[in-house]
């Protein structure tokens, strides 16, 4: 009898410990209202819910700069979270707060873009490679010569700078490729469409378009203007992926840049909290290129297309080996306790 009681007490105690294990995870993101970032936040919520190990999420998600992100991270430290998953506003600017967090024993994972603070873990899309493989494919399609419209992201953003490095690396390999026009779309759909309309109207000759993810509106503009179609490179946004198989005469390629890297970041944070820290502090997710010219690319595009997604969302909604949520969970965009 005594042993039974003891056993029960032990079991109850263990059960109590197991339920008390629920982690509190903080999230900091500085771009709001952008499809990619919204998918990232939804992936974070879905992963936290699917893991079953997260008790609550504290989400600081607003439009701000590095100084504002310092504030958000410090507020999350005050909130007593166990881990912080952050999409850094830039590589150096939030180091001070990250150091304060790790000194306080909080696990910090930077997703999407890297930080230079050595105590943080980094799980990032390889942005330089993203631009390089897309540009290389585009220049090959153009036959190695001609002028390209270079539609970048936001001036001054870290990811835009990394992509510029990759783009320039590809340019160096194709000496006969020139830049017809270089513009910053600010990763804004309306701005990008206005810019391509201006370029078409101005009669600037070009043989290809490289975009930093503002892609479906560029295809729209080309179709609407009746201009001869040229090869276009974009990201794996649902709208553009759909166009690659539906718009007649369009040769293009989607380069993957999964917003679900946010979910992978939450998964990594949970692993570390569980005591299973990875050997390397930096994990790079390499992009893939899906074109609608090769059979292999077509198959990947067809498999990835999903009409249930918002056109601004990347279609790669999960990262194999990292995320564990279902398609329905990420579309529902609900975290623990919601």
Partner 1 sequence: MRRWIEANTWTLGLAVLLAVLLLATKLIQPGFGASGLDSLARAALPFALATVGMAIVVIAGGIDLSIAAMMAVASVTGAVLMDGASDGQSLLIVVGVLLLGLLMGAVNGALIVLSRVPDIVVTLAMLFVWQGVALLILNAPGGGAAPWLRAMVAGGLLGMDWLPRGIVFLAVVTAAIWLPIRRSRLGLRLYAIGSDPLAAFRSGVPVGQTRIIAYALCGLFAALGGLSVTMGTGIGEPIPGPYLLASVAAVVLGGVVLGGGRGGLLGPILAVFILRTVRMDLTLLSVDPNVAAIVEGTIMVAVVMFGAVVATRGRKP
The residues of the shown chain that bind partner 1, judged by CB under 8 A, are: 32, 56-68, 70-72, 74-80, 89-96, 154-158, 160-161
Exposure string for 6-19, b = 16+ CB within 10 A, e = fewer: eeeeeeeeeeeeee
Nearer to partner 1, 56 or 194 (CB): 56
How far apart are CB 41 and partner 1 at their closest, in Å? 8
Map tokens 């910090």 to a residue: 108
How far apart are CB 141 and partner 1 at their closest, in Å? 29
How far apart are CB 154 and partner 1 at their closest, in Å? 7
Any residues with CB less than 8 A from the CB of 255 and at least 6 apart, and which?
Answer: 130, 133, 134, 233, 234, 235, 236, 287, 288, 289, 290
Nearer to partner 1, 190 or 296 (CB): 190
How far apart are CB 36 and partner 1 at their closest, in Å? 16
Closest CA to 257 of 232, 280, 234: 234
How far apart are CB 102 and partner 1 at their closest, in Å? 15
C-alpha 296/C-alpha 293 separation (Å) is 9
Nearer to partner 1, 63 or 294 (CB): 63
Rounded alpha-carbon distances, angstroms, from residue 111 to 36, 51, 86: 13, 18, 6
C-alpha 28/C-alpha 302 separation (Å) is 34
How far apart are CB 236 and partner 1 at their closest, in Å? 25
Chain-centre distance for alpha carbon 336: 22
Let me know: does 214 contact 196? Beta carbons within 8 Å: no
How far apart are CB 205 and partner 1 at their closest, in Å? 27
Nearer to partner 1, 103 or 198 (CB): 103
Exposure string for 100-139, b = 16+ CB within 10 A, e = fewer: ebbeeebbbbbbbbbbebeebbbbbbbbbbbbbbbbbbbb
| Vertex 194 angle, CA 191 and 195, to 5° | 85
Map tokens 């600017």 to a residue: 93
How far apart are CB 255 and partner 1 at their closest, in Å? 21
How far apart are CB 218 and partner 1 at their closest, in Å? 23
Strand (E) positions, 19-167? 23-29, 54-61, 83-86, 107-112, 121-125, 146-152
C-alpha 242/C-alpha 311 separation (Å) is 9
Is residue 303 exposed (0-12), middle (13-18) or buried (19+ Cβ within 10 Å)? exposed
Bridge-based pairing of strands 54-61 and 107-112 is unpaired
Nearer to partner 1, 64 or 243 (CB): 64
Nearer to partner 1, 207 or 212 (CB): 212
Nearer to partner 1, 30 or 260 (CB): 30
């Amino acid at each position: 009898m005594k042993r039974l009681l003891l056993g029960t007490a032990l079991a109850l105690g263990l059960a109590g410990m197991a339920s008390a294990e629920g982690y509190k995870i903080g999230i900091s993101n500085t771009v709001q209202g952008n499809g990619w970032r919204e998918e990232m936040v939804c992936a974070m919520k879905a992963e936290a819910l699917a893991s079953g190990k997260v008790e609550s999420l504290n989400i600081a998600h607003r439009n701000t700069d590095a100084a504002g992100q310092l504030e958000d991270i410090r507020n999350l430290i005050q909130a007593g979270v166990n881990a912080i998953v952050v999409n850094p506003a830039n590589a150096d600017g939030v180091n001070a707060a990250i150091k304060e967090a790790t000194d306080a024993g909080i696990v910090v994972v930077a997703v999407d873009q890297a930080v230079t603070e050595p105590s943080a873990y980094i799980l990032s899309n390889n942005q330089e490679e993203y631009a390089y493989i897309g540009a290389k494919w585009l220049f090959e399609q153009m036959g190695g010569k001609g002028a390209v419209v270079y539609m970048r992201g936001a001036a001054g953003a870290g990811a835009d700078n990394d992509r510029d490095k990759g783009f320039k690396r590809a340019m160096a390999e194709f000496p006969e490729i020139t830049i017809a026009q270089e513009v910053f779309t600010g990763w804004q759909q309306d701005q990008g469409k206005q810019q391509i309309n201006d370029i078409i109207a101005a009669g600037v000759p070009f043989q290809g378009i490289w975009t930093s993810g503002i892609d479906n509106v560029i295809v729209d503009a080309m179709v609407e203007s009746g201009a001869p179609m040229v090869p276009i490179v974009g990201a794996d946004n649902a709208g553009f992926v759909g166009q690659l198989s539906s718009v007649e005469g369009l040769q293009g390629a989607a380069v993957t840049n999964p917003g679900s890297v946010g979910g992978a970041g939450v998964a990594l944070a949970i692993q570390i909290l569980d005591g299973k820290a990875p050997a390397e502090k930096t994990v790079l997710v390499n992009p893939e290129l899906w074109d609608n010219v090769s059979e292999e690319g077509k198959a990947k595009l067809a498999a990835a297309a999903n009409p249930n997604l918002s056109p601004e969302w990347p279609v790669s909604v999960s990262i194999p080996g990292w995320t564990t949520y279902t398609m329905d969970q990420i579309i529902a965009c609900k975290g623990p306790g919601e």
